[in-house]
Structure formats: C-alpha cells, structure tokens
Amino acid sequence: MSDNTNRDNKNPRFGSKPPSGGDDPNQPKKGPRFSIYWIYAIIFAVLIGFQLFGPFSPTMAKTSSMEFRNMLANGEVAKYTIIDNRKTVKVYLTDSAQKKYQTQLKKAGKVTEKGPHMSFKITTGEAFQKEISEFLKVNPTVKEVPSDIENERDIFGGILQFLLPVLLFVGLWILLMRKMSGGAGGGGGPGGIFNIGKSKATLFDKGTKVNITFADVAGLDEAKVEVMEIVDFLKNPKKYTNLGGKIPKGALLIGPPGTGKTLLAKAVAGEAQVPFFSLSGSDFVEMFVGVGASRVRDLFKQAREKAPCIIFIDEIDAIGRARGKNAMMSNDERESTLNQLLVEMDGFGTDVGIIVLAATNRPDVLDTALLRPGRFDRQITIDKPDLVGREAIFKVHLKPIKISKTLDIHKLAEQTPGFAGADIANVCNEAALIAARKNKEAVDMQDFQDAVDRVIGGLEKKNKIISPEEKKIIAYHEAGHAVCGWYLEHAYPLLKVTIVPRGTAALGYAQYTPKEQYLYNIDQLTDQICMTLGGRAAEEIFFNKISTGAQNDLQQITKIAYAMVTVYGMNDKVGNISFYDPQQETTFTKPYSDETAKMIDQEVRKLIDDAYEKTKQLLRDKKGDVEKLADQLLLREVLFQSDVEALIGKRPFEEKKSLVEEPAGDLLGETGEISAGVPPYDSDVTNKPL
C-alpha cells in the first residue's frame, strides 16, 4: 500500500559509513608529493636570480649625477661610459679616488681595481652628454675625461625576455590539461577531459571491505533469497549449467523509495566475494555526445576483465526510459546510451559471468527492450514491509540504541503501518534524539510515539497561536472523523487523535490502524469516503458553516471517486470500463468522448453527494458522541483508542485481528487535511487494488 503522508524517505542507513577518528598506522602519511614541476620552478628561479644578482650584472657602488660632477671637478674620474639602452652611466675611478672611496666600494662588493666602480641612472644618453658639455663650459678648469656611449647586450636578458611568455603559456596549458585529465595534483578526478569516456563505476574487489551484510537487511526475506541465489550463480556456475540451465544476465530490483533496494545491493557487495561494480544511471549522462555509450562500453570492458563479477546500476530509469515516447523531448544521447547498454547486456556469452543488478522505483517508464528476458531475466519486487517485516527492521535499527526494558517492539510495528525501512530508521533515530533532549538514560515507548508523530505529522508547533474559535472548529472536525471511523463498519478503527499543531500547516492529526488487504469492494471504498468527509460534515452540523480545513479531504475523496468510476468499473452507468493509462500513451487525447466525460463527472458528483448525506445523517444520530470527543480534545488535546472507548463505548464492529498495513490519519492543514488512511489511488500501478 502506498503511504500518503509524504514522509521524507532519506535514510542514514543508505549512506556510507563515516570514517573513524584518529590516524591509521597502516595508512601512508600524507605530505607534499614530489613533482617534476618543482624542478622546472627551481630552474626558472635560478635563471631569474642570475639575471638580477649573478655575475652577469657587475656589482657597482651607487652614486648620483651631482656627485659625478663633483668627482669630475676633483679629477677623480678616469673615464665613464654611457649605456644608452639601459639609461645608466658607469664610472671608472682613478687610483687615488679608489682609495678615497674604498669603504663605499667594499660595502657594494667591489673589491677589485678593474672598473667600472660606480654607476648612476640618467634620462637619456644624449641629454646627459649635453649636460656634461655645459658643465665643462661653465667650469673651464675642469679637465675633460675620456668617454664613450654604447648599448650593452645581455644574452640572458634577451633569452628570458623571449622565453618567459612562452614558458608561462606552456605551463598554464600543461596545468590546465592535467586538471582536466585528473592527473597528479590536478584534482580533476577520473572524469576529466581525457578520461571523459571512461566508466565512473566504483569497484569493490575482494580486498575492499564493505561493512553491510545480509544480516543488516531485514524484512526482505524473499528478495534476499533471490539475490543470494544470483551470487551463488557466480560462485558455483557448474551447479546450474550441468543441468542445462543458463545463468541469468540481469535482475531488476523494483520497489517504492526507502524499501531497501540500494541496501540490498550493498549487502550483495559485502557478501558476494566477487568484484562488484557500483554506479548510478546518471553517471552515464554527460553534456558531450557519445560519452554515455562510451562509458557503457568501458564499464563492460572492465567487467569482462574481472569476470565473474556483478554490475549494479542504481536509478537505472535515468538512462532506461522508453524510447520515442515524446518526439519533442527526444534525447539522442540518452537513447544511444540505452542502445549501447542493451547491446552489451545481450551481446556477451552466458559463460562470461557478468550479472547486471539494477534498481528503480519507476518500472513503468522503462523501455520494454530493457525488461525482456535475456537482459533483465528477473524482476524482484521489494514492497513496503508488513507487520512481521517492520518488527524485524526495528530490531536491526534498535541494536545501537539504548532502549528501555519495557519497550514493546511488536506494538511499535503495529503503530507504524505503511512505514518503509528508511522511515523506520528515521523513527529510531528521532526517538533517540528526543530521549537525549529529555536527558533520559534509555529510550522508552513514549519517545518512539513522539518520534512517529514527528515523522508523520512534522514538528510540534507549541508556540503557534490559535484562537479559541478556530481551536473549537478543529476539535469538532477531528471528532467528526473519529466518530465516523468508529461507527462505519468498513472504515479504519481509530488509533489516536490530536489537535496539537504540527508541521508547517497541520493543525490536527488523526491516526488509524487499517487492515492488511489488497482488494477493496464498493462498500469499503464508500465508507472510506464517508469517514474522510466526517470533518466537513461535523463543521456544517455544529457551526452551520464550513471552513477551508477540508481541502485535502476533498482531494482524497475526489481521487477515490474518480478511480471507482473510471478505473475500477464500479459505476452502473459508465459500466465495466477502465480508462487507466499507466504508460501515458494518451497524454494529449482522452480515451473517451466529451459525452462520456460529462457522464463521468456527473456520476462522481452523485457518488460524493450520496456519501456526504450518509455522513451527515450518521453524525446527527451520534451528535452527543461528537460533542463528548470534541470537549475532551479541547481539554486534553490528545485522545487514544482507550480514551475513545471510555467516552463513547466499544466499537460496535468487532475487528478481526490482522496485520496492519497502511498508516491512516489526517493532518488538518492550513487549508486542508492530509488523509493517510485512503487506499492508494495514485499513479503507482503496482499498489493499486485489482
């Protein structure tokens, strides 16, 4: 049965195990890794150093143009050279001047007698020559000294000037390519530009330890048997081939979200003792054309090298959707990927030993060529667990939790109908958090009940301000649901009702305990509609007006009514006709005429109107019981089944004890209710009553 409470299916048990703290002595210590680029950097730095500080740039003491004129006037300059291209003047001192400026020269590192000894900067060589000529004219006593002008050629400087842009460009190109190709230090990973056609599958080989085993998978006994047999095919193939049998090529895990499909695959990886390739359907998808098909080829190439092995593709509907359904939204890349997968699965021999496991919660959208025998020979359905399965799942998830000795696991399983494995794991975790918040030493039953309410209805809103008038309407609304469920033979019996606000918009919440059943008759569906209309009918009877609180109630009954008329053939006028279209082959055209559509609308309206009148008559007859429950809800806010029995007596219809299957209840929201007690009349064909 489907669960209409719209709970989040995220489950910590499906995540990878967090790494343990501390350093592992067996793991190599991380540190800077040697790279050839370090050598390139050192050579480049040495060249720059030689250019700036090496022997190719002679060391000279610094002076200025003014001091140079004083040296000329004192006869201390033997000669000078103008380096025009560097705008520098090099000064050669006389022997006596060298002794005079000995300290300054030593400080600059110039200890030899050979010049040049000093240097200074100028604007241009021509301008400097004019300045010296004028200086000599003004000072005729100053003796003119030899001078020349030249351009100094620097071999290393020229080479660096030419090579530096080239080296920078080459270095950036190499770095970019290494990053895109996922090379050392690039961080690009295996999906780089040069490895873009390579498979992204994670390989769990014999040396890789997976911590999840079949002991961690509870409530999936039939599916476990099927999967364990597949593993046995690979370990002991002769056991089956000696009798003429062929090893299955693939198995498809089908089930609603959170039921344990991926967990079962992880258990296979943990116990198969054969190489296990794991990836998701979206790993094949890339923006480049042809990449998906290339990755499929590479995946099966790796698998053949490791055979016998298992390939697990999670969420295969990402690439396995039916081809050609919508020409406007056609994607050639996705279809080519699917075509390559079809060829690979049906192309290798039976003795290769490659089995493909896949998981999806949308089997209705998969291509028929993918589902045929020879590719996915087996389809393993994983449904939401029944009472026994939920109890087993609770035992698994309660192992790490300190629970109270008075905790009744069987009762917990009864109070969580319709919960998948992910939901149960979430309930256990929430209960532990609630107990820790209350500083308890162990998690007791009350914590689990609060956790169930938290998961189904959302966080309790204690600070939400509700006026007394609104609170009274909510109380009578919920009391109307409860009384209808109590006195209608085929309605689900009440488990709990509350008017405590929860979630973002829920103002009230009622939980029922439906029977485990897969077939519904007209009386049962009609009673479900009446029970769902109980809140709206109570408002009209006791307040002579209706509110927006029944929005979700109306959505639920509309679903049921239209399903009765158009899907299940439960209407005399429409007849034994079903317009159900799971493959959505008639998306743009209705499979019936306008006259039939009008008749369907009329019959649905008549069905709901009759049920509404029946509900109002029932509540008028039980008006005192509704008032009792509403008054107690206003006083206590929460009523359990035992409280209802004490107030209005035992339920007149003795319920046969059976397994609980579906969570039922309604959350009175801002403008409606979320009724979880309605049979599944959504698009999930696998959960529809026959």
First to last CA, the chain: 12
Joined tokens for residue 493: 């019996």
Range 603-612 average pLDDT:
94
Lowest mean pLDDT among 137-151, 211-225, 273-287, 648-662: 648-662
Q: What is the pLDDT of residue 101?
A: 85
Measure the CA–CA gap between 224 and 264, rounded to whole angstroms.
7
Residues whose CB falls within 8 Å of the CB of residue 410, separated by 6 or more in sequence, listed in order: 391
Per the CB < 8 A criterion, the answer to whether 562 and 600 are in contact is yes
- Residue 199 confidence (pLDDT): 66
Matching residue, tokens 């995946």: 299
Q: Nearest 5°: phi and psi at 82?
A: -95, 115
pLDDT tens for 631-648 read 988 888 888 888 888 888
Strand order in the sheet with 494-498: 638-640, 494-498, 508-512, 664-668, 673-675
Mean pLDDT of 421-436: 91
When mean pLDDT is compared across 167-171, 263-267, 371-375, 677-681, the lowest value belongs to: 677-681
Q: Give the Å distances, CA to CA, from 507 to 214, 500, 544.
A: 42, 6, 21
Q: What is the pLDDT at residue 303?
A: 86
The dihedrals phi and psi of 420, each to the nearest 5 degrees, come to: -85, 175
Tell whether pTM > 0.85. no
DSSP type of residue 363: G
Q: Which of 375, 376, 355, 360 is nearest to 319 (CA)?
A: 360
Task: Give Cα 537 distance to the centre of its chain.
Answer: 43
Number of alpha carbons in the 13 Å side-chain half-sphere of residue 381? 7
Rounded Cα–Cα distance for residues 100 and 351 (Å): 98
| Average pLDDT in the chain | 77
Does the annotation count 595 as an active-site position?
Answer: no
Q: Looking at residues 75-84, what average pLDDT do you find?
A: 87
Sequence-distant (6+) residues with CB within 8 A of 535 are 477, 478, 480, 481, 549, 550, 553, 666, 668, 673
Four-residue CA torsion sign, 343, 346, 348, 353 = positive
The pLDDT of residue 615 is 93
- 226: DSSP letter: H
pLDDT category at 111 given cuts 50, 70, 90 is: low
Report the DSSP pairing between strands 88-93 and 309-314. unpaired
Per DSSP, the three-state class of 586 is coil
CB atoms under 10 Å from CB of 489, counted, come to 11
The torsion region of residue 386 among left (phi > 0), alpha (psi -120 to 50) and beta comes to beta
H or E element at residue 479:
helix 468-487
| 278 or 286, which is more confident | 278
Model confidence band, residue 200 (pLDDT cutoffs 50, 70, 90): low
Edge-to-edge, what's the strand order for the sheet holding 378-381?
202-204, 276-280, 309-314, 354-360, 250-254, 378-381
- Residue 168 CB partners (closer than 8 Å, separation 6+): none
Residue 84, token pair as written in the block: 């025009």
Q: Pull the structure tokens for residue 379.
A: 């389809």
| Residue 548: exposure state from Cβ atoms within 10 A (0-12, 13-18, ≥19) | exposed
Token pair in block for residue 621: 């007859």
Percentage of the chain lying above the pLDDT 90 cut = 12
* pLDDT in the model for residue 682: 34
Mapping DSSP to helix (H, G, I), strand (E, B) and coil, where does residue 188 land?
coil
Express the helix, strand and coil content of the chain in percent, nearest 5 each: 50, 10, 40
Place of tokens 């919508």: 326
Q: How many Cβ atoms from other residues are within 10 Å of residue 163's Cβ?
A: 13
User: Which band of pLDDT confidence, cut at 50, 70 and 90, is reported for residue 619?
Assistant: very high
Catalytic residue among 478, 661, 662, 673: 478
Residues 6+ apart with CB under 8 A from 443: 401, 402, 403, 404, 407, 431, 432, 434, 435
Distance between CA atoms of 131 and 128, rounded to whole angstroms?
A: 5
